[in-house]
A and B are shown apart, each in its own frame.
Chain A
Amino acid sequence: MPILGIMASSTSGASAVGNFDSIASASGTGSSGTITFSSIPTTFTHLQIRGIGRTTATGAADTTLRMRVNGYTSAYPLHRILGNGTAASAYGATTEVYFQDVVDVATNSATSNVMGAFIIDILDYANTNKFKTFRALSGTDNNGGGTIIFGSGLYSQTTAITSITLEANGQNWTTTSNFALYGIK
């Protein structure tokens, strides 16, 4: 039963090997707010980023992860559906200069040891004939507060994606934050 185009990789047999590959992983340092995956090979069909995140911010218990690809600093059109435990809401923007407000992570104002979790899919990332679509599922629960988000976004360029940065919204990633990039054939 292929799901997201990835479950087929887990079927048994020799063909299963290498269909969902780990490309790179990184952890937060506590003193840097940027994780960069660079020199991404174009040999896969899709990319998936999976991780847990917590920033050094204080104030709200959760915040947004901000993503850029290829160092692109112009607009990333995006949409989200968000639940905060009391109400559901929808949001869209066309001028955000990051893929932001659609991937939720924890902050240092959350209870100790609480992490946000996220999965970002970047579809057909190496195709040079069309723009690239992102989609994400993310959330943070803080036992009494929390956010869950479905998000999508667009990189309005036909250039293959060869680098990705994941930023802690102006703060730093804690040492408990982990990020992993996978390629799907």
Chain B
Amino acid sequence: MAKTYEPIATNTLGSAAASVTFSSIPATYTDLVLVQVSKITTGAGTGTLQINGDTASNYSNTFLTGNGSTATSTRNSSTVIFTGDASNSDLQTSIYNFQNYSNTTTFKTVILRSNVTGSSLSAVVGLYRSTAAITSILISQNASTTFIAGSTFTLYGIKSA
């Protein structure tokens, strides 16, 4: 029986890095799942997502977050996809789902949930306004900070019948 859910690539940072990129992603799966377990080197930040090296304003997102006392929702249009809070004291764990990432008919929607232990829980829907198949994914921070060494990023592929 062929594997349905399998790892494509993993990146455990050997030293601090400003971003992590998965490239040459094969188009042979139905969905992609990216699992991130990380901290940043200074203060607090917010992760961002870039697809296919596209630096134009083709991204937007709707954000829902709770911090233990209040729940809020925000939106970013024609900017970037924000992917959740980051911290230098607590782990950020995020699971991104890129649904039907390789079809060339629709824009790409990513849904993810992200936690920073002890401070926040978020859910995000992001839109990449392109019909191109996703072949590369870049995870970074919008602040002047970096992911610490030991942060892990693993990309999986899921194949439907």
Give chain A's interface residues, CB within 8 Å of chain B: 1, 3, 6-7, 9-10, 12, 16-25, 50-52, 81-88, 90, 111, 113-119, 137-150, 176, 178, 180, 182
Residues of A close to B6: CB separation below 8 A? 10, 16
From 77 to 113 in chain B, residues with beta carbon under 8 angstroms from any chain A beta carbon are 77-78, 95, 97, 99-100, 103, 105-107, 109-111, 113
Listed from nearest, the 4 A-B pairs whose CB atoms lie closest are A139-B125, A83-B64, A83-B73, A85-B75
In this complex, what residue of A is CB-closest to B63? A83
Q: A22–B4 contact, CB under 8 A?
A: yes
The listed residue (A21, A88, A143, A145) touching B64 by CB distance below 8 A is: A88
Q: B99–A117 contact, CB under 8 A?
A: yes
16 interchain pairs (CB within 8 A)?
A: A1-B35, A10-B5, A12-B7, A17-B2, A21-B1, A22-B161, A81-B66, A85-B63, A113-B106, A113-B107, A116-B109, A117-B110, A139-B124, A141-B126, A146-B61, A180-B161
The listed residue (B60, B66, B126) touching A88 by CB distance below 8 A is: B66
Give chain B's interface residues, CB within 8 Å of chain A: 1-7, 30-31, 35, 37, 60-66, 71-75, 77-78, 95, 97, 99-100, 103, 105-107, 109-111, 113, 123-127, 129, 131, 156, 158-161
The listed residue (B1, B61, B97) touching A141 by CB distance below 8 A is: B61
**Is chain A's binding surface mostly helix, strand, loop or mixed?**
strand
Q: A143–B127 contact, CB under 8 A?
A: yes
Q: B77–A143 contact, CB under 8 A?
A: yes
Q: A148–B124 contact, CB under 8 A?
A: yes
Q: A138–B7 contact, CB under 8 A?
A: no
Task: State the Cβ distance, B5 to closest chain A Cβ, in Å.
Answer: 4
